[in-house]
Amino acid sequence: MDWVYLILKMLALVVVVLIAYNFLKIYLLDKIKINKWIVLIMAIIVFILPNFFVKNVSILGSWWQYVYSGTFVILFMWFMDLAGLNKRMQSKVVSNKDGKNVVIKSKAKPTRLKNSNMEVIETKKGKKAKKNKK
């Protein structure tokens, strides 16, 4: 029965951290202009910091353990946001300032046709057809 209680505590921590991160991202983190490496260094410090306090104060089993874990996860997700790792997962649809969605298409390359070794053959209907040279 202890493992059920532990799983429920972890799920509650995940939900609280994700909600807190989304609110922080909307109201605070997007307004702060900071280097992504500074955020990563802060996350590493928060990750290592509890190891020094375990000798003096019993952190294991208390709520401070969850505060340190949540702070590390929030800082690491902020680093991933600043590094642009979540943009690679998004689709190729971009919204304009007007609110219209624009699909990004590849640009036509006209020099490819000039450099290719193809000859133009006239057909009976007057249309031009392309044929590869061999």
52 compared with 8, residue with greater pLDDT: 8
Position 68 scores a pLDDT of 86
Position 58 scores a pLDDT of 62
Provide the b/e sequence for 106-116 (b: ≥16 CB within 10 Å): eeeeeeeeeee
Domain of residue 47 covers 2-103
Q: Which residues contact 119 (CB under 8 A, 6 or more apart)?
A: 130, 131, 133
Number of structural domains the chain divides into: 1
Residue in 38, 50, 48, 49 with CA at minimum distance from that of residue 75 = 38
Residue 83 lies in a domain: yes
The string of pLDDT tens digits covering residues 79-95 is: 999 888 766 555 455 55
Residue in 65, 66, 88 with CA at minimum distance from that of residue 15 = 66
Residue 37 lies in a domain: yes
Q: Give Cα 14 distance to the centre of its chain.
A: 18
Position 75 scores a pLDDT of 94
Position 72 scores a pLDDT of 94
What's the burial of 67, exposed, middle or buried (CB within 10 Å: 0-12/13-18/19+)?
Answer: middle
